[in-house]
Structure 1
Amino acid sequence: MHVLIADDEPLARSRLKRLLMETGLNAEVSEAASAAEARNMATNRIPDLVLLDIAMPGEDGLSLAEFFAKLPEPPAVIFVTAYSEHALAAFNVHAVDYLLKPVTTSQLKQSLQRAYQLNRLQKYQSGPSVIRYQQSGLSKSITLDQVLYFSAEDKYVRMYMQGDDVLLDQSLNQLAASYPQLLRIHRQTLINPLHLTAIRHPANNPCLAELAHGRFNLPISRRALSLVKQALNKV
């Protein structure tokens, strides 16, 4: 495996290189101090995995990720950054994960496992994301773009669709890992940003995410509000 670390800070690159070794990953590691240098290196050899900072002199990491995503065989991209506000934009350029500095070995190891699983899946899967579930003893499936949101209920998660809802045996964390395009607006709620139509601001109450033009209004945590606003601007 060939891993490219793109970060303008030498100490950050050295630390990531050490963490990679601690995860037990058997890889050849290259380093780039800028997006331009990373582009040049990729023209000679496309990496399998890129650990990518966002704030770099000149071209930023988000733009570089777009470049990687358009390659014939795009690498898996994991953002490693000090800025939390770019998470949604990162997933819009097909990032596998978004880690905040300082990263621990266990966090990086989990991201590597996720990158491997997604890359293996992408080799066999084409077309829209599909969710499979059981209803009334029947095995069914639905494309993700038809799903409005997921809500945690006791030991299960309820999936709300256009005109129906069903219980799933997956956790919200499992769904978020499998479908990074989903947006967590609350510890108990994941929404599909495709159906986000407004943000409501009731007096003296938490802000609400309006889905499907008012059909659902779901509480937004304070921590998630900025990400929801970014998502609304992109709808």
Structure 2
Amino acid sequence: MKVLIADDEPLAAGRLQLLLARCEGVDLVGTASDGDSAVRMAEALGPDLLLLDIAMPGLDGIEVARALAARRPSPAVVFITAFDQFAVAAFEVAAVDYVMKPVEPARLDRALDRARAYLRTRGEQQPSSLASRYLEEFWASDLSGLVRIATRDIDRVSAERDYMRLHVGARSWLIHHSMNALEDGLDPATFIRLHRSAIVRRSFIAGFSRNPSGRWIARLSDNSEQPVGRLYSDAVREMAGR
């Protein structure tokens, strides 16, 4: 698998080169330090996979991915960045993965495996199809720096103006996403939207009841309750088999 790195930070690019050197079946064909160079090098070298930073001089990583999307065959794209707020935009341009810095070897291995799977099947499906791809992790800020939050650990999500609060057990973190975009990025087999300001992990729901006005109320595993918006009542009935 031919790989092209695009990152304007020499230390980050160097770390990726070292990590790739330990990976079998990987051939690093070049390193670009800005978005415009990344497009030119991709067109000239024909890499199978681009490891793209997002914040770069000139074209950013999202724009690079868009510029190369029409190329046939299209390369796999994995974004590697220090910022979590671009995750939804990244998946909108058919990224096969989104990896946060600093990159861990095991996490890079998973991204390479996804790229290989994409390359094996790209002739059988539209490359922009992301129906089976959902966010696996988020990064949020706290007093110690950045915290990695696995999607599978999230109990529920609540909206707070322009931010979403991820609830994991007794703790919670704020991230900058819209509720609609976040809903699109979460696996509907695992999460269900119950309100315009609430998404809940299905397995975190202990049951449903109705209040005196007939409105559905979700009883959650932590003994709290979440009112169900009228627009989402059908989803509740479907989940409950009613």
Q: What interval of TM-score do these two structures reach, taking the shorter chain for normalisation? A: 0.5 to 0.7
Give me the CA root mean square deviation.
3.6
Write out aligned runs for 1:85-124 (5 A): 85-124=85-124
Structure 1, gaps ≥5 residues long: 132-151, 153-180, 218-235
Deviation at 1:114, TM superposition (A): 1.1
Shift of 1:209: 9.2
Shift in CA distance, 117/60, structure 1 to aligned 2, threshold 3 Å: same
Deviations 1:162-220 (A, max 9, x none): xxxxxxxxxxxxxxxxxxx952279x8246xxx99943599xx7888979765337xxx
Which of 216, 219, 235 is residue 235 of structure 2 equivalent to? 216
Q: d(CA) in 2 for partners of 1:95 and 1:85?
A: 15
The AA in structure 1 aligned to 2:84 is S
Question: 1:53, 1:81 within 8 Å by CA — same for their partners in 2?
Answer: yes
Alignment of 1:21 onto 2:21: yes
Cα distance in 2 between the residues matched to 1:28 and 1:60: 21
TM-superposed CA distance for 1:33, in Å, is 0.2
- The answer to whether the 8 A contact 1:199-1:208 is kept is no
Q: How far apart are 1:94 and its partner, in Å? A: 0.3
Does the CA contact (< 8 Å) of 1:79 and 1:98 recur in 2? yes
Counterpart residue number, 2:47: 47
Instruction: Answer 1 or 2: which has greater helix percent.
Output: 1
Partner of 2:33: 33
Instruction: Say whether the 8 Å CA contact 2:4–2:30 is kept in structure 1.
Output: yes
Change (3 A) 1:53 1:216: same
Q: Secondary structure of the equivalent of 1:59? A: coil
**Conservation of the 8 A alpha-carbon contact between 1:2 and 1:49:** yes
> 8 Å contact 1:35–1:64 — kept in the other structure?
yes
Looking at structure 2, the residues matched to 208 and 74 of structure 1 have their Cα atoms a distance apart, in angstroms, of 45
Q: Quick one: which amino acid aligns to residue 7 of structure 1? A: D
Aligned residues of 2:91 and 2:130 also touching (Cα < 8 A):
no
Task: Mark the CA change 1:3 to 1:207 in structure 2 (over 3 Å): closer, same or farther.
Answer: farther
> Given the superposition, is the C-alpha separation of residues 130 and 15 from structure 1 closer, same or farther in structure 2, using an over 3 Å criterion?
closer
Q: Is the 8 Å Cα contact of residues 23 and 106 (structure 1) preserved in structure 2?
A: no
Partner of 2:185: 183
Please state whether the residue corresponding to 1:66 is helix, strand or coil: helix
Query: Hey, what's the Cα distance between the residues in 2 that align with 1:196 and 1:44?
Result: 49
Match of 2:12 in 1: 12
DSSP-derived class of the 2:78 partner = strand
Matched to 1:38, the amino acid is A
Flag the 1:126–1:213 CA change in 2: closer, same or farther, 3 A.
same
Identical residues among aligned pairs (%):
38
- Does the 8 Å CA contact 1:3/1:47 hold for their aligned counterparts? yes
Q: In structure 2, do the counterparts of structure 1 residues 211 and 6 end up closer, same or farther at CA, with 3 Å as the change threshold?
A: farther
2:87 is the alignment partner of 1:67: no
Secondary structure of the residue that 2:8 maps to in structure 1?
A: coil
CA distance in 2, matches of 1:24, 1:209: 50
| Aligned position for 2:197 | 199
Higher gyration radius (CA): 2
Q: 8 Å contact 2:3–2:26 — kept in the other structure?
A: no
In 2, Cα distance between equivalents of 1:126 and 1:70: 11
> Aligned residues, how many?
163
> Aligned partners of 2:102, 2:229: CA distance in 1, in Å?
35
Closer, same or farther: CA 126–63 of 1 in aligned 2, 3 Å: closer
Structure 1 residues 197 and 89, CA gap change in structure 2 (3 angstroms): farther
